[in-house]
Structure 1
Amino acid sequence: MAIRQKTHVTLKLSGRGTGHAQSEIAVRDLIAVIDEPVERGGTNLGPSPTEMAYAALIGCTNVIGNKCAARLGVDIGHLAFEMEVDFDRRGVLLMEEVEVPFTSIRLQVTADGPASQSDLDRVAAETAKYCPISKLYENSGTDVTVTWAKA
């Protein structure tokens, strides 16, 4: 008998500030460190909050992309990612409120599997429909461009 997954869940995280620029975040049985680089007053023990947010898009694209590829029967192999983010830092610099701080994101996805470019385009279209982190950015006003190509 197959297990029916819940469609709506409440996720729980906890955290604590371990310094003015560093936080420890508990998720499941894991601890993640978020920190600022030394030049911004941190100790560089982890990605900054904004870097962690960008990294989430790469991770989500990988997970959802692989799920979509499997559902479509497409062998994408392993994925590699290169990302550029245009970040309006006036808000974090306390200069003024910025409604859309991440103005644009360009994500290049490269697949090393035997899938054709046409198949990768199908996987990309499905991934764009279902990746919640991509939806988060797009619906907040960020211009997100994700390009899939063969290695």
Structure 2
Amino acid sequence: MDAAQLRATQAPFKEKYRSDPKSALITLKAKGSIDNEAIACKVEIGRALAVAGLHPGSGGSGLELCSGDMLLEALVACAGVTLKSVATAIEVPLKSGKVSAEGDLDFRGTLGIDKEAPVGFAEIRLRFDVDTDAPQEKLDLLLKLTERYCVVYQTVKNGPKVSVTMHRV
């Protein structure tokens, strides 16, 4: 897909959202079910199930997916798609590209060992390695716009309002 095709594909959506801003508010959903036998949660991903469990650093077997890894994978996926979309839109030719994310956790927090230790990532590092002949100012713009428009990056960076409820069934 080139820049013109991308613009043509997105044009009707942009026009609709400009004329009817409420139509741009879309609720994404995820579902899972608690595993009755293991300490795991089965998460629906399209037509498949991803089974998430404890990280080996907190007693998990390593056979299930770690939700922390899944968060980083979601960040990589979103950042990669956003980077490619922006590169296409601003006509930065990419010969190849890699996206990686790593995050630091202190398991003393999640295991309740040290009340001063944080629960969650203390730091996340997102990295792009691109092979391109584009000038540096185009790469700077590419990075700036990728950061600006990556949904998962902005969500992690800005911490949205989150609510939690529990219902008896």
* SS at structure 2 position matched to 1:32: strand
Match of 2:34 in 1: 17
Contact 1:12 1:27 in 2 (8 A): no
Q: What pairs up with 1:57-76 in 2 under 5 angstroms?
A: 57-76=75-94
Q: Which residue in the other structure is 1:56 paired with?
A: 74
Return the alpha-carbon distance in structure 2 between the equivalents of residues 9 and 82 of structure 1: 28
Q: Check the 8 A contact 2:75/2:101 in 1, yes or no.
A: no
Identity of aligned residues (%): 27
What letter is aligned with 1:106?
R
Q: CA RMSD in A?
A: 2.7
| Residues 12/83 of structure 1: CA separation in 2 closer, same or farther (3 Å cut) | closer
Equivalent AA in structure 2 for residue 77 of structure 1: K
**Unmatched runs of 5 consecutive residues or more in structure 2:** 1-7, 17-22, 160-169
Q: Residues 86 and 132 of structure 1: is their aligned pair in 2 closer, same or farther, counting only changes over 3 Å?
A: same
**1:131 aligned onto 2:160:** no
- The 1:7/1:99 distance shift into structure 2, 3 A limit, reads farther
How many positions carry a matched residue from both structures?
Answer: 140
Cα deviation digits, residues 26-74 of structure 1 (max 9, x gap): 1332322222345644332343111111121111110111111111111
CA separation of 1:34 and 1:76: change in aligned 2, threshold 3 A? same
Q: How does 1:17-36 map to 2 (within 5 A)?
A: 17-18=34-35, 19-36=37-54
In structure 1, list runs of 5 or more residues that go unmatched: 141-151
Once the two structures are superposed, residues 53-111 of structure 1 have per-residue CA deviations (whole angstroms, 9 ceiling, x without a partner) of 11211111101111111111111233213433222334311243766732222222101
Task: Choose between structure 1 and 2: higher strand proportion.
Answer: 1
Please identify, of 114-123 and 130-139, the stretch whose mean Cα deviation from structure 2 is larger.
Answer: 114-123
Whole-angstrom distance in 2 between the partners of 1:45 and 1:16: 17
Aligned partner of 1:115: which letter? A
TM-score, normalising length: structure 2? 0.68
* Preserved CA contact (<8 Å) 2:72 2:102: no
Structure 1 or 2: more helix by fraction: 2
**Candidates 88, 106, 112, aligned match of 2:131:** 112
The worse-fitting range, judged by mean Cα deviation, of 104-113 and 66-75 is: 104-113
C-alpha distance after superposition, 1:108-140 (max 9, x if no partner): 210123333332211100011111211122113
Cα 1:111/1:23, change in 2 over 3 Å: same
Tell whether the 8 Å contact from 1:76 to 1:120 is kept in structure 2 after alignment: no
